[in-house]
A and B are shown apart, each in its own frame.
Chain A
Amino acid sequence: MILIALIAWPFVAGVAAWIAGRRRPHVARWVSVLAMGAGLLALAVVWIVKAPDFALSGHGPFVASVHVAWVPQLGISFFVAADGLSLVMVTLCYALGLLAVLSSWREVTTRVGFFHFMLLWTIAALVGVFTALDLFLFYFLFEMMLVPMFFLIALWGHERRVYAAVKFFLFTQIGGLLMLVAILALYVIHGRQTGVYTFDYLQLLGTHLSMATATWLMLGFFAAFAVKLPAVPLHTWLPDAHTQAPTAGSLVLAGLLIKIGAYGMIRFMVPLFPQAAFRAAPVFMGLAVLGILYGAVLAFAQRDLKRLVAYTSVSHMGFVLLAIFAWNTLALQGAVLEIVCHAFSTGALFAIVGLMQERLHTRDMDKMGGLWLTAPRMGAVALVFALASLGLPSLGNFVAEFLILIGSWRVSEPATVLAAFGLVAATIYSLWLIQRVFQGRETPAVTMPDLTLREGVMLAAMAAPLLWLGVYPQPLFNAVRPGLAALQQRAVRGAPPPSSAVLLPPPTTRAAPTGSDAGAVSMSGDAQ
């Protein structure tokens, strides 16, 4: 039941904020903050209560689920469930939702109530997306989220907001439609085979598909998720959408929305079509490496601070894509950690850009420089997140990217060697950002007020998880392990595959056939 409450709660609160905000804008803000805060508290309780369950193997990966028939005639049910992975994502939704509300405290001054309604609606749909196990429900929520997101960009965005919003909508819509076709085809094929027409993910998992069919359907899912992630060359909506969106929109986009791509691949695409996915893995890993380097190099070319940060997202999501197609425990754990850490590090950078735009009314880095002199606290905080972005050890992003690369090393050494260049490139854009904005001038280019207490607390709250996950990521790993293990059992890399060996790199470097990282190539006597 808690899951339904978690989905419905932001929506209800959003309606309340809308109504309240008609008269008193400030009430809408407070309602939203309290709603998100209360949700986080509830989630904290869930974590504490359920934490012991994660340690128990054999308990099954799901710690909560609701299964209600919805349109039984068509095999549609309201089926939501959460394993560790989903719970992490849901928590992330609430945390970033809270931060998004806080970051638009002063930025949004028009139609405040409606804004918060849209924002909380997005959060509600996202929570649903990360827990839905009925493919119809998943698709429905996947589309539902686009509408408020579209308006968040188009109504409260910057100069070219309508263009950006339409572009965002168009990309996602086309990808989504291809996925819909694939879902419906899977539904029909499964129905013909078994006589049971259902959208239940767990039942569809066992569907027998010929390699050709599986490949086509997999590509349908991939289209939707690759647009979201985004994978190069489907990424061009992202810099526009991120840049034009209000800060809250950028936060939700970078922290949550694009993570649907990663989540969808891990949860649905690979387990539903494992052989097809693994057969295509070399291509997609190549695409991932391309994305890592392409996104980073394009970040060099930007003058618009927000656009620069947006391109770094493309680069970081390339790591996640690499991990998904490496599909071993190390890489997947790393991917989940990257999802979480990127949400905070990049989200914080967007928040900082938003604060600067509020103060300077520009995002052009050529008009900045030397700002550390006038806003030292903001400079220091920006440096922390820039360092997270470049993968400094002791911050979570490092652990994530290290695990991803070590996992992908076992699958493809060349891809990893190239991907590791992404870390060098990340150093360039991160340090360049700091230099161009905060250093290198005897007198600041413009004077800018430093962080206020609210802003400082908000950014510190985003830095804390990065530090925690950089030094002690174990709780997160423990939480997502059973869920990931279950998914990996569904889709075993290198298992009986028809002819998949041909397309994969040399067998000596491949993960052990159990898919659970049986250990090093020559020996595996590692001590705990």
Chain B
Amino acid sequence: MHTMIVLIPLLPLAGFVVTLLLGKRVLSARPEVVSLAAVTASWVLSMIVVAHVFGAHDKAIDFNLFTWVSAGSFHVQWGYLVDSLAAVMLIVVSTIGMLVHYYSIGYMRSDGGYYRFFAYLNLFMFAMFTLILANNYLLVFLGWEGVGLCSYLLISFWFHKKSASQAGKKAFLVNRIGDWGFTLGLFLIFTTFGSLQFGQVFAKVSLVSPGLVTWISLLLFVGAVGKSAQFPLHVWLPDAMEGPTPVSALIHAATMVNAGVYMIARSYPLVSHSHTAMLVVMIVGTFTAIYAACIALTQNDIKKVIAYSTISSLGFMFMALGAGAWVAAIFYLFAHGFFKGLLFLGSGSVIHSMSGEQDMRRMGGLRKKLPLTFWTMLIGALANVGMFPFAGFWAKDEILGGDFSAHYYIVWAVGIVTAFVTALFMFRLMFLTFWGENRASAEVQRHIHESPRVMTVPLVILAIPAAVLGLVVGLPPDGGWLHTFLQPVFFNVEKEHFAWAGTGGGLMALSLVVVALGISTAYVAYLRRPGLPARAAARVPWAYEASYHKFYMDEFYNAAVIRPVMGFAMWLWAFVDVRVIDGAVNGLAWLWGAFGRVLRPLQTGRAQSYAFGVFAGLFVLIILIRYFWGA
């Protein structure tokens, strides 16, 4: 079993090295085979490991490979931990990772950097597996930064595009700002607990002062805010859509962006000890959920809509974590990985068939021409908005139920509003894309075609869990298979359970009504009376402009951070370095030079005589000192 666990991240790493080195020349005919083989094998191994964890219920596998860093009292091992939480993550990451690899064969076939793409994807799989399987914070951090690097590489995959290189840099940089907090959190964990190993840290939580635990939790959360694109560090994720669409599906919807949620969930024994930290997590998550949903409402780029939807969904997960609905958060993560991955891959299929068009205003009527894409995306959209009985319904309602039962009524209300807005923008996307008349140019229309099998089959496969996952693992609500499975990880969650027929059922019915209302509004606004949105926007232009311009966050950062820092840098250089310091030095040098002119005859330009001079001078000096001062 240990060997298998080690191989899960190792195989993609090997695939990366082989593909990178041999992809261009040796494997030029089929550069993808090695990396496909690697992820497929990792998937098989993952499934075996998951089955094993399921069988050996309650017994986590925790082992060390070798000592990574050991200096003074600081010891960190390279070691892995597989428990039920890691197992759930393994299912999501390995399955979607593998499907995206296959999908990319079709999507990236004609790209010049084909082999490079697969190499990066494999490297990403290595880093992501390392992140979820690590048994200590430092190794998590290695995976964490590794996925950040791959995200950077893949966003700026078309590096010759200015916008892509800009977006990749932005993503990496914003993540590193979050990592600043993460790193400080690690320092505080180490100085407090004397270890970074999960087991050793979590065993001692109750011995540590609550203030410290709060600080640690908040610092870790700063990292999570960066990685999982929460307000105010969410600005990188929409730009990340510059990357190829399979990347958006894999990294920026299904796996990497969940890392922050995973890390907070993994730190459950710590975070759940701090009421303050939980509250902060919940507030940030709730705000992000509604904030991003409002932006998604007015975006025209199909991928941008899904990107903001992802931010909103991640906000939902943090809302759940903060409200103490730990299992519901992971449930949502589990379901979200499938349906959001599906939506992205579906949008990729749309873009592919539309000759690269991403603007929904020039789409429409694709229902008939792309039937498979349409039906699978419909399932994804229904799951995303939380329609019964799709996966998102069960997960979302557990979260809302969790808010309600924890007496966070305002949070619950915001959640309900978000559900309405989500239904609205998601079906705005569906109606604009798949219904009505096609608004593309004749040239583009002529080329519309359903994507090849290698792209549609992954869509179909992903549609299955998006549809039925909730029925399989989430029933009955708050007591399904997933709850039992995750019980050992979130061992101490105390929560009020609603009666099926009472409050619980009422809440579910209410949220269903809200979702239906959202979908019907979208139907009226975008199909029946297409002039309505424009009139509504004209009525409240400030609201429309604010949403359309993403509440001016990029402009704010530009004016408040980037430009002042750059100006300061230029000033520091031009004034402090060149004028002040060098000015002083040059003044001194002038004096030195004047002095030197007097002694010019001594300058022979020969190194030996300088050396002799140094030596002789020293001797004379020492003798003088000895003579006058010493004895």
Contact = CB atoms under 8 A, between A and B. Distances in A.
Contacts of A329: 71-73
Contacts of B73: 329-330, 517-520, 524, 526
Contact of B183 (A405, A441, A472, A524): A405
A166 B589 contact: yes
B528 interface: no
- The prevalent SS among residues of A at the interface is helix
Interface string B196-235: 0100100010011000000000000000000000000000
A409 B69 CA distance: 18
Interface string B174-209: 001101100110111011111101001000100110
Interface in B81-125: none
Contacts of B625: 184, 187-188
A526 B195 contact: yes
Contacts of B615: 140
A444 to B, nearest CB: 9
Contacts of A298: 569, 572-573, 577
A170 interface: yes
B614 interface: yes
Contact of B607 (A139, A148, A424): A148
B149 A526 contact: no
A144 B613 CA distance: 11
A392 interface: yes
Contact of B569 (A184, A300, A474): A300
A525 interface: yes
Instruction: Give the interface size bracket for A toward B.
Output: 35 or more
B25 interface: no
A410 interface: yes
Contacts of A403: 69, 71, 74
B156 interface: yes
A394 B200 CA distance: 23
B629 to A, nearest CB: 6
B160 A74 contact: no
Contacts of B197: 527
A107 interface: no
B618 A523 contact: no
B505 to A, nearest CB: 48
A225 interface: no
Interface in B576-631: 577, 581-582, 585, 588-589, 592, 607, 610-611, 614-615, 618-619, 621-623, 625-626, 629-631
A185 B513 CA distance: 88
B570 interface: yes
B492 interface: no
Interface in B493-523: none
Interface string A360-385: 00000000001011000000000000
A166 to B, nearest CB: 7
Interface in B374-389: none
Nearest to A118: B607
A522 B207 contact: yes
Contacts of A151: 607
Contacts of A394: 142, 146
Nearest to B621: A184
Contact of A143 (B160, B565, B614): B614
B194 A520 contact: yes
A461 interface: no
B169 interface: yes
B540 interface: no
B25 to A, nearest CB: 13
Given A197-B626, A528-B70, 17 more contacts: A140-B618, A170-B585, A184-B625, A370-B160, A399-B69, A403-B69, A406-B191, A407-B72, A427-B176, A431-B152, A439-B160, A517-B74, A518-B73, A522-B207, A522-B208, A526-B75, A527-B197
17 contacts: A74-B623, A74-B626, A147-B611, A151-B607, A184-B621, A387-B149, A392-B149, A394-B146, A403-B71, A417-B184, A440-B159, A440-B161, A477-B71, A519-B194, A520-B192, A521-B192, A526-B200
